[in-house]
Amino acid sequence: MSKITGNEIIHQYLRHNKKFPHVLCAGCGHGIVLGTLIRSIHSLGIPKDDVVVVAGIGCSGRLAVYVDFNTVHTTHGRALTFATGIKMANPKLNVIALMGDGDALSIGGNHLIHAARRNIGVTALVLNNNIYGMTGGQSSPATPEGSVTMTNPYGQLDRSFDTVELAKGAGANYVARGTVFHVNRLEKIMTEAIGRPGFSLVEAITPCHTQFGRKNKYKSSVDMYKWLKSTAMSVDRYNELPEEKRGDRLPIGVFVDRDRPGFEEVYYAMQADFLKPTVKGGK
Amino acid sequence: MPRRKKRTEIFALGNEAVAEGALLAGCTFYGGYPITPSTEVMEIMANRLPKTEGGVFIQLEDEIASMGAVIGASLAGRKAMTATSGPGFSLMQENLGYAIMAETPMVLVNVMRGGPSTGLPTCPAQGDVQQARWGTHGDHPIIVLSASNVQECLDMTITAFNMAEKYRTPVILLLDEVTSHTREKIELPNPGEFEVFSRTVPSMPPEWYKPYEETVRGVPPMPPVGSGYRFHVTGLTHDRNGFPTQRPEEVVELMDRIHRKIDQFFYDIQLVEEIQTEDAEICVIAYGCVARSAELAVHQARQNGVKAGLLKLKTLFPYPRRHTEKVLAHAKTLIVPEMNMGQMSREVKRVTMGNAAVRTINRVDGQIVTPSEILKVIMQG
């Protein structure tokens, strides 16, 4: 028997009755993230029926339509709220919220903070391409300072958001960052994230050459992958670096790994206590 | 014949009756954010649902999240609801549109308060009537119900859940502060005394199932997420398989169906109470707490020899057109008292088409319309 290749795994999980080709640009990293997500679910052996992918709006939001799970394409920034309702209604489901950086950090920032604080058992996957891609390249909270966008023709003035620090501060159970260049590591942290109880967040750095790279210093999409390769470094090595040498380096890896039970577990345990048949007297 | 079991009588607030009605209708999910004057609904659900088998109560970070969670829970097969008031209702509008587009049953209770903006938080008003109809973007059908006393709060909440499930749509229960905060004796119906409708689930194997297929009633069956029927749910205009589409013929098919599934069942959806309307020459059309003032005014007018009647609207939208037309056979004047600048009188004028005089009584000062105010206008003819 021949070995099953990665492509064959992915084909089992795509919707072949759906309109292909997909909407993503050549050089986009979103497909790589979706591939790692599928392989993670496959390696965990979770049946398709038990997976719900809840997506927001934008390029990342469109990914849900291609995969053969239960998929919900929600309103802008609200994926986590829909995911919270689904998880509370049926805690057996593996709920994965797929969001972009604008989706998760800007319009959906409040929901992200509170999903983490509540520790609802949802895996949040933030596809950070530093820009509003589908809307035409306007700046997002994750756009690096100084970058040029459609709404920052003279350079981004405010500081860019650190998703990992935000999720840590809000109390997420598991927080990790990966890039689409470091695919195997991304797959590993995604598998871990899905397996953890409570709220877990994975930030996947994925390049948008069409809207971001082109206007900044990256001549081709390949340049953007080279940038990921040269910028990202493991969080352990990053922590050992002296402050002045850190510069623009991007730490990747696992930042928080706790084992607290999810909100739904705590809630249903309380309910089980209420519903316990009371033993009266007895003989 | 078996003797009817005696009903339990309780002394309840309108908001408490809403919560009781929801539990009787089989609601097992409440997601919300507190806001005056709707809060008691939430407080009772917070108390009761965790002690109910499988019941889920969750307080979310805001009204937008509440709507999202309620839609998510409904997709997962729960009967779900939320309650809010003016400003919160505005925040819910985008996701309300999503629920209409994705045909997700749910009940949204809006206890109206004075507006616009933060307005008169603890004063009654009926200023959200047109917001309930047109608050979200795009053309869409909607079911909006109302209640004018505490017993009706209970009954109409059950009706709201039944309609939501029957027609796969969000249903809005529009109350006012007076009705919500009035305490009256009501009877709780015994199980079996009222209809409880639950959504139709598909009976065909998953591979044959099309989530948005045309059916006789226009309402496709709806399986809970995770039950073996995998499909795509989206707020984008979608084809029968649930996938986004921009093909004109598929867009029109979807829009036609979601309108038709509500419009064609007007006899089931459009509920009114007719009080002395059979021979009324002057007919008052009212809803909510104003309908109670109107009822007294009509009785007093009859005592004075004026043939007055009251058409009490329990369904605000789709507007009960055929009931109004029936009244128009002999009524020369229609009087529409409201606690707003005339949001429902527009509908009445639209349906009347100049066949009768439409007089309006409007108050926006946070006070209710009194019986004597209405009587005065009736006596003027």
Amino acid at A165: E
Cα–Cα distance between A128 and B267 in angstroms, integer?
A: 51
Whether the pLDDT of residue B3 is over 70: the answer is no
Cα–Cα distance between B88 and B66 in angstroms, integer?
A: 10
H helices of chain B, where? 14-24, 39-48, 63-75, 86-101, 129-134, 150-167, 177-180, 248-263, 266-269, 289-303, 321-328, 345-352, 371-380
Average pLDDT over residues B249-272: 96
**Mean pLDDT per segment of 10 residues, for chain A of length 283 residues?**
73 85 92 96 97 96 95 97 98 97 96 98 97 94 95 94 96 97 97 97 96 92 95 95 91 96 97 83 52
Task: Using CA coordinates, name the residue in chain A closest to B69.
Answer: A85
Per-residue pLDDT, A20: 75
Residue contact A82–B236, C-beta within 8 A: no
Phi, psi (5° rounding) for residue B315?
-110, 125
Whether the pLDDT of residue B7 is over 80: the answer is yes
Q: Does residue A129 contact residue A29 with C-beta atoms inside 8 Å?
A: yes
Per-residue pLDDT, A17: 81
- Could you report how far apart the first and last alpha carbons of chain B are, in Å? 50
Per-residue pLDDT, A1: 46
Predicted ipTM of the assembly: 0.96
Residue contact A93–B76, C-beta within 8 A: yes
Q: Does residue B362 contact residue B338 with C-beta atoms inside 8 Å?
A: yes
Q: Does residue B86 contact residue B128 with C-beta atoms inside 8 Å?
A: yes
Amino acid at A95: V
Per-residue pLDDT, A3: 64
Looking at CA atoms only, how far is residue A170 from chain B in angstroms?
A: 13
Per-residue pLDDT, B235: 96
State whether residue A111 sits within 8 Å of chain B by CB: yes
Per-residue pLDDT, A2: 57
Q: Does residue B208 contact residue B231 with C-beta atoms inside 8 Å?
A: no
Per-residue pLDDT, B78: 98
Per-residue pLDDT, A279: 66
Cα–Cα distance between A73 and A50 in angstroms, integer?
A: 17
Per-residue pLDDT, B1: 58
Average pLDDT over residues B212-233: 95
Cα–Cα distance between B9 and B271 in angstroms, integer?
A: 25
Selected for mutation to probe chain A from B47, B52, B56, B227 (highest A CB count within 10 Å) is: B56
The predicted-structure confidence for B83-110, as pLDDT tens digits, reads as follows: 999 999 999 999 999 999 999 999 999 9
Cα–Cα distance between B377 and B372 in angstroms, integer?
A: 9
Q: Does residue B85 contact residue B35 with C-beta atoms inside 8 Å?
A: yes
Per-residue pLDDT, A100: 96
DSSP-derived secondary structure for B49-100: GGGSTT-EEEE-SSHHHHHHHHHHHHHTT--EEEEEEHHHHHHHHHHHHHHH
